[in-house]
Structure 1
Amino acid sequence: MENSPSRMFILKVSASDPDIGTNGQVSYTLHGPNADKFHLDQKTGELFTLSQLDREKVMEYDLLVKATDGGGRSCQADILLMIQDMNDNPPKFSNNHYEVTVFDNTTIRTPIAVIYAKDPDTGINSEVKYSLLEDNSGHFSLEEFSGILRLERSLAENTRSTFELKVKATDRGLPRQLYSIATFTVHVVDLSNYKPVFLSQEYSAQIPESTLVGSEVISVSALTRDGTETEPIVYSIVSGNEGGRFYLHPATGVLAVNGSLDFELCREYYLSLEGTRGKSTLSDITMVIINITDVNDNTPVFGQGDYRADISEDLSPGDVVMQVAINCQLSLSGVNCPFRNE
């Protein structure tokens, strides 16, 4: 059992030797990883702990015991110690404080968040149940085993902009149950006033592959429905920016080139951009499609360095002597590679 006191007896090993005298006297030694955490009595073969064991750090110990007689002959056996769990860890939330934002017109019984806490123990000691410690308003409920936080009362007539909740995660361990507490803030947002709205749900731009790093590609705009600018809009790239080829200024919404472009490697980028106002977790998403155009940045290359051919002296004009190959990375139009293999 983990957390047992040091010098606790675990087991006794025994080996017999039919010889007599010194040759029949057996002594025991312990070997293997973490063998220093145990003591094996050389004469009796009794195995003890030297310190408290923590199952969450080491779940099992694979040891080897060697029995040697007075004549130097020996045998060995494996010892596998499985550490039994003790309920010594409370459930742990991923954060001490959580925040979520909901619309003021959210439907009753809508799940607005999932709360999760993990207990590093095993078995029943690791099973977690959830409860609300403070919610005098009755606007929310927390499912005991799933951790789903639901809206229970309409927010349409509510005058409060925030609700401060305390959630409790308790394990089902024996002989005592351990718990942790986290705080939870629910922001109530008037959708018509606070959600940023991009002027367009899709933008497009076309730039040559030779565009320099730092060059502006496009500027996206977001407006709030009430027209106020009391809180700034923060812009970010959500997805599609593989290789970090583009940079979106978080305050201005200007999208710029952030790395070298190569038409032959990638001809289109689909960037998903997000605009968020103030501390609100409500945001708007727009798509930017960037088409990369080709420039003449690849020279033709012969398929081999030297060409040789034996020809007959009686060839007529126009007879084929040989065929050479010219490699050229084609653009879609083929304008930058007008060569023929002849």
Structure 2
Amino acid sequence: DRARNVSERLSSTTTLTVNIADSDDLDPSFIYRGCVLLDGACINPEYTASVPAGSLRQLSGGLCGRKLSFGYKGFDDNGKPISFKTTDADLTEDDPKPDYIYELTTPSFEVVAREPKTNAASAPLSLTVILKDVNDNPPKLSMVPPVSITAGDGIRKVANVTATDNDEGPNAVITYSIYHVSNNGMQKFIIDEKTGEIETRGRLWLENNIVLLCKPRCRRNKLTVTVIHAEDPESDPVVYSIISGNDLRQFAVGQESGIIAVIRKLDRESLTRYQLIVKAEDNGGLLAPATAQSFVGIVHATDADEGINAEITYSIPSDIPFGINGSSGEIRTSKPLDYEKQNEYRFVVTAKDGAPDARLGTASVTVLVRDLPDEVPQFSDSRIDVRIPENEPDVSVATVQAFDPDTLPEITYVIRKGATDLFKVNPKTGEIKTTKGLDFEKQKVHELIVGTIENDGNSAGDTIKVVVDVEDRNDVRPLFVSVPSL
């Protein structure tokens, strides 16, 4: 105050707290590995991904052998979450009930209820937690020394394999199967699913040196991921196989059904996404690849603002064969990609915050399309006419040339129709030669239809016609047709 006597003046203090309200003054900033930061933002952020050409589908289904993570609730025998109820003998029904603080002590694993104001604590309550076993341990096979048996027929015991599983109960029940037999000997052996005893079921020859690979399996239901289907225009049967992305043998595909299933435990902490390339092949060796997952990549942006000003939404142009999750930044294909039509895509991802007057951040994305052998060779010419002299073997007739749009062309030339006893074609170069001399007097014109093994079609461009005109040579002596009598 302002008392006249300075020594009698009195004063008091107070605390003023100023809360600074966040304003939308910062742009979203993309973050990527190895970026150079400037004022908290990446300089020229660019993302690059590589995906295969073909049809793309999204995986469905859950995970097998999910691990227990932090934050799981404990449940009682009735399946209800465990909770605590505290009573105090000093309080009557009309007294206000304090909000108790619960503390978990270690290592005794006891719970104590404490009053916040008086710090009075209850007697400790001991807890007992029983962990339920999950099927998270694979069976382990014991080593089996090499086995020698005599050649011949009949049912004979080869060996007995055993495996152990550290799980308990039904999770530790093991079944056995033969995974692989060398020298195409799968039909010559059988294994008992329960005991692991291996017996012969076919003739064994003295020259055979056979290696068997056995696989124990825990009792785990196969989780179906998806079902793929391919149709052959010629109605030939189609066989499916996984050709990439299954290095740990965690997935299997039915050769005839196309059902893709999980056969081993997946660990999300180790790998969150899998990309499988599945091949559908007919009897002629023609194939069509597809993938069982359409994931391309993830972009990530941060915003130093708070609240709605820091909520980021991602978007990409609508005229490209990709889509993006607006919340997570995950990019996936929206339609099949064709390497031969376009092998690279470049587009911009926009990150927009949630403020009414939104601020933006951008990043460049480059997607490289990997080529797959999905194109067949084609001929640009439909006909070639040549003339060669008669009676000369190993003469170069002509050289045909087909074009394969794939990155790694696969072209094998073959004569589909014509005198293969008189002509031959080099399967690699396409050069046509005679195998022996032609005879003008027997046949003046030869027609050959040349194609490729990779393309068995009959449409325009699938084959080429080679017309060979044989030139006459003076190789026949004159013959008297009549002799007058004298």
TM-score range, shorter chain: 0.3 to 0.5
What's the TM-score, normalizing by structure 2?
0.34
What's the TM-score, normalizing by structure 1?
0.48
Q: Which has the higher contact order (CA 8 A, sep 6+)?
A: 2
The higher radius of gyration belongs to 2
**Higher strand residue share:** 1
